[in-house]
Structure 1
């Protein structure tokens, strides 16, 4: 397997989305999203992508970990954890030493433990309050 700190292609993105049951997005929407991604990682095996993850954010303090996907037949091999850790490390390395860093994630139901193993805490937790989402179509 080859890990690359680059975004997947639009086709790879949609193939991975479909592989985990998330459907497909319009190609123009995916292209725009990928072009505005702060950090991305794609994992390839053979001729295709088997995993991807992205960090989106302001480039200085706030990021959100999104689109963490590993093809079902490759899950359980540590690929997801390795992708997330590489993105977290990239964001940490790029910030000034005196700067703080906040990375949020919205977990799929039942996957919270995966993110907790990377150091994320469940919300509501103390001063951080509850996470909320607005989805529009």
Structure 2
């Protein structure tokens, strides 16, 4: 029997919840684009939650994972897809929490990743936070 595989999220209006630590907030630009860039430990996959309301996403991040977050911001799957950043529901993978989804940046150079992260950040800023504590 084969292992379960992550499923592509294709519904364009699906909003993925991304937590933004206070350290990535900036008075000049609101949120640093690095908040929407995978870190080296993420292996090119930006961690989000889907099918969860923004408050619950924040609660899980701060209470269950005991990490700091200034709030929950949204990434629309349609925008990510238009930037050639596919989103996968990957909670079936070992160690992933329920409702986890990853936005995959691996097909792009570091410079392209930075450009795409800025576009995700700009869209999140224009929408505003989905939840702030």
- TM-score, normalised with respect to structure 1: 0.28
> Which structure exhibits the higher relative contact order, with contacts defined as CA atoms closer than 8 Å and separated by 6 or more residues?
2
Which entry has the higher C-alpha Rg, 1 or 2? 1
